[in-house]
Amino acid sequence: MPHLTSRRQRTTGTGLRPGVGVPGYAHPLLAPTEWGALTRPGTPLHWVVLNVADGPGARPDPQCLEAAGRLRNAGVRVLGHLDSRYGTRNFGELISDAHRFADWYQTDGFLLDRCPADHAGLSGVRRTVATLRVIRDGAHIVLGHGIHPHPGYADLADQLVTFSGPWNDYRWSQVAEWTAGHPPERFCHFVHSVPRARLAEALGIARRQGAATIYVTDRTDCGGYADPWETMPGYWDEVVSRVGTGVSE
């Protein structure tokens, strides 16, 4: 197990300002307000994940085409959602989904969700990422581990999701020692069930742990029966304001 610590000295990166990475709202027909708000000027978005139907769907979806087009026209990266199933997903199916995202929605990259995190999974993910970069030249690749993975994964992708879970876990979380060798723009945190009163504290944890891309929401998973990422946080305007100005605690 990698050594963990609560505070790190970060290496100097490229100067990417803190911003929001949206894990993927519900279909635009079900969440029109959410998708509409993402193109509001001044919103500090790093990227938005598009998940049409547990992937790209069987055919191009008009509403998703429109939503993705608006974001890309606004200069926001759109990433296609690919489910790795912790490395058990058939490689051909995974790459077929990636081709559909790139061909139909002109995605700028991919979120490889439920990505393996152990050393054994490195070779498979390396093969997948190399193929994704052929499919989309200059693709922005995010590996959705949800935990601190083996440090070898940092060599494969642009960003790693090193936390995805509830506030009760995040508030006591620690960062792996090896991450200190990488700048904050390499890491993302997704945190749900965060009370409004704890929003500043959550953003402060992300800053101290060196995650430049974050998504924080008060939505919950209702005991595992709901997706907390499908709808916008009740305090979205405050998230945008605090992240955009660099104000946390």
Stretch 4-28: mean pLDDT, rounded?
Answer: 70
Return the structure tokens found at 80.
């296609």
Q: Are 78 and 107 in contact (CB under 8 A)?
A: yes
pLDDT per residue as tens digits for the range 194-225: 999 999 999 999 999 999 999 999 999 887 77
Check residue 9 and give its pLDDT. 43
Per-residue pLDDT reduced to its tens digit, 68-123: 999 999 999 999 999 999 999 999 999 999 999 999 999 999 999 999 999 999 99
pLDDT tens string 125-184: 999 999 999 999 999 999 999 999 999 999 999 999 999 999 999 999 999 999 999 999
What the block records as the tokens of 100 is: 């559909």
Mean pLDDT of 60-74: 96
Confidence (pTM)? 0.92
Residue 11 has pLDDT above 60, yes or no: no
Angstrom CA distances, 83 to 27, 162, 177, 219, 236, stand at 17, 17, 28, 22, 27
Instruction: Count CA atoms within 13 Å of residue 62 on its CB side.
Output: 0
- pLDDT for the residue 112: 98
Residue 248: which of 205, 197, 187 has the closest Cα?
205
- pLDDT at position 3 is 46
pLDDT at residue 187 is higher than 90: yes
Answer whether 25's CB lies under 8 Å from 230's CB.
yes
Q: Which CATH architecture has domain 21-245?
A: Alpha-Beta Barrel (3.20)
Q: Which amino acid is at 70?
A: R
pLDDT of residue 143: 98
Name the CA radius of gyration of the chain, rounded: 17
CA–CA gap between residue 38 and residue 74 (Å, rounded): 9
Give the domain ranges of the chain. Answer: 21-245
- What is the pLDDT, as a whole number, of residue 10? 42
